[in-house]
Amino acid sequence: MTAPVTPTAPITQDVHTIPRKAPEGPTNLVGLRREAMRDALIAAGTPEKQAKMRVNQIWQWIYHWGVRDFDAMTNLAKPYRELLARNFVISLPEIVSKQVSSDGTRKYLVRIAGGHEVETVYIPEEDRGTLCISSQVGCTLTCSFCHTGTQKLVRNLTPAEIVGQVMLARDDLGEWPQPGAPKDETRLLSNIVLMGMGEPLYNFEGVRDAMKIAMDGEGIALSRRRITLSTSGVVPEIARTAEEIGCMLAVSFHATTDEVRDKLVPINKKWNIEKLLEALKSYPKLSNSERITFEYVMLKDVNDSDEDARRLVKLIEGIPAKINLIPFNEWPGSPYQRSSNNRIHAFADIIYKAGYASPIRTPRGEDIMAACGQLKSATERARKSRAEIAAEVQG
């Protein structure tokens, strides 16, 4: 095993995670890893000897059957169900609204504690269905082509709020198993991508715990190969992602020189292309995954030349990779334009000829602003526009 990459500088995050438990009031069982659930059950009076079995039972009810009510947990004695109800809740964030695109994409506006809102997007495809989930409200990073990056307010989502997005989507898709029904192998929600709002590696523990729950075989049971985490390049957390989550990795590469990447993905000033590539090289082996996805947003006259394509191929030499070309999705006031189709195809061709898969991501849900980089919740939009109005008045 390669030694974990040590941080070259402390990771600064002006974000905070709200405590999982309010000082008073019942504990939410959603979002607790098995060990933590066990501890909580014991603290509430479950005999230690029974605790493991109780975790197994409750876990299955919550994550396999999608049950939210202790009374429905019929293999638990009534007094024990009452003890649970006195001490715990099974609580999810709330879907405030749902929009359905003409292409079937569903965008959920999800309200979390404190009145904040995040967006979750479900993308149906022929052979699978992908849920794009958020890990933070807004983002502390400021990639110049990303709508989320213009949103000011930020806090980390809790594990319950992250895995809760998966559970809410399963509710909406009607996908919890029915007792006695044959096991359905084709799932509507078969894949997760951490490509919604926020930088997942700036909320490492929250994302890790939520994904561990989603992968647990007694519950939602999604294979780690069906979960892809996208990072802008938080280098010190990459080896840890391999070791502690083990999911597939996508990286927002987007440029082939530090000069351009500094502008597009400003975190590059902290960890440049060379440092990023070094961390990526060990990822497939550490995580036992086949390859890394390099995301590359196609911006007209900024990063889309043949020269860029050739440089890209050279840079990633030796890394098992696929390059996902993302036509830029415009948003109100965005400072860039999408490269032409011809340009994107010419770029893809150079990469393909060098031996890499180079799929062009079809924008989904554009009519409801659900495409990559368009997410930004309505309350935050309103918040900002009120601030802008105030500034105008003062000016």
Two tokens at 188? Answer: 């509507």
Q: Is 328 in the site for ligand SAH (CB under 6 A)?
A: yes
Q: Is 373 in the site for ligand SAH (CB under 6 A)?
A: yes
Q: Is 148 in the site for ligand SF4 (CB under 6 A)?
A: yes
User: Is 132 annotated among the ligand-binding residues?
Assistant: no
Q: Kindly state the smallest distance separating residue 106's Cβ from ligand SAH, in Å.
A: 18
Considering CB distances under 5 to 8 angstroms, the limit depending on partner class, which of ligand SAH, ligand SF4, none binds residue 337? none
User: Is 232 annotated among the ligand-binding residues?
Assistant: no
* Gap between the Cα atoms of 109 and 137, Å rounded: 12
Q: Is 193 in the site for ligand SF4 (CB under 6 A)?
A: no
Two tokens at 301? Answer: 């006259």
According to DSSP, the residues that pair with 108 across neighbouring strands are: 98, 120
Q: Is 252 in the site for ligand SAH (CB under 6 A)?
A: yes
Q: Kindly state the smallest distance separating residue 132's Cβ from ligand SF4, in Å.
A: 12
Residues 6+ apart with CB under 8 A from 346: 306, 309
* Gap between the Cα atoms of 118 and 266, Å rounded: 23
User: Is 329 annotated among the ligand-binding residues?
Assistant: yes
C-alpha to C-alpha distances, 351 to 98, 265, 295, 303, 342, nearest whole angstrom: 38, 22, 13, 14, 14
Q: Kindly state the smallest distance separating residue 257's Cβ from ligand SF4, in Å.
A: 18
Q: Is 46 in the site for ligand SAH (CB under 6 A)?
A: no
* Gap between the Cα atoms of 310 and 61, Å rounded: 52
User: Which ranges of the chain does DSSP label H, i.e. alpha helix?
Assistant: 34-43, 48-59, 78-87, 159-173, 204-215, 238-244, 258-264, 273-281, 283-287, 306-315, 341-353, 378-394
Determine phi and psi for 379, rounding to 5 degrees: -65, -40
Two tokens at 294? Answer: 């390099």
Two tokens at 210? Answer: 């939520």
Catalytic residues: 119, 372
Q: Is 326 in the site for ligand SAH (CB under 6 A)?
A: yes
Residue from 232, 324, 334, 374 that binds ligand SF4 (CB under 6 A)?
232
Q: Is 143 in the site for ligand SF4 (CB under 6 A)?
A: yes
* Gap between the Cα atoms of 211 and 208, Å rounded: 5
Q: Is 303 in the site for ligand SAH (CB under 6 A)?
A: no
Q: Kindly state the smallest distance separating residue 200's Cβ from ligand SF4, in Å.
A: 9
* Gap between the Cα atoms of 196 and 362, Å rounded: 16
Residue from 62, 112, 141, 166 that binds ligand SF4 (CB under 6 A)?
141
Determine phi and psi for 216, rounding to 5 degrees: -55, 125
Binding piece for ligand SAH, criterion CB under 6 A, among 35-43, 114-122, 229-237, 383-391? 229-237
Binding piece for ligand SF4, criterion CB under 6 A, among 74-82, 141-149, 241-249, 358-366? 141-149
Q: Kindly state the smallest distance separating residue 138's Cβ from ligand SF4, in Å.
A: 8
Nearest to 175 by CA among 89, 23, 278, 66: 66
Residue from 105, 156, 230, 358 that binds ligand SAH (CB under 6 A)?
230
Of 146 and 210, which CB lies nearer to ligand SF4 in the complex structure?
Answer: 146
Interacting positions 99-138 with ligand SAH (CB under 6 A)? none
Residue from 55, 84, 118, 146 that binds ligand SF4 (CB under 6 A)?
146
Cβ proximity of 326 and 295 under 8 Å: yes
Site for ligand SAH, rule CB under 6 A: 143, 145-147, 195, 199, 230-232, 252, 295, 297, 326, 328-329, 372-373
Site for ligand SF4, rule CB under 6 A: 139, 141-143, 146, 148-149, 198-199, 232, 252
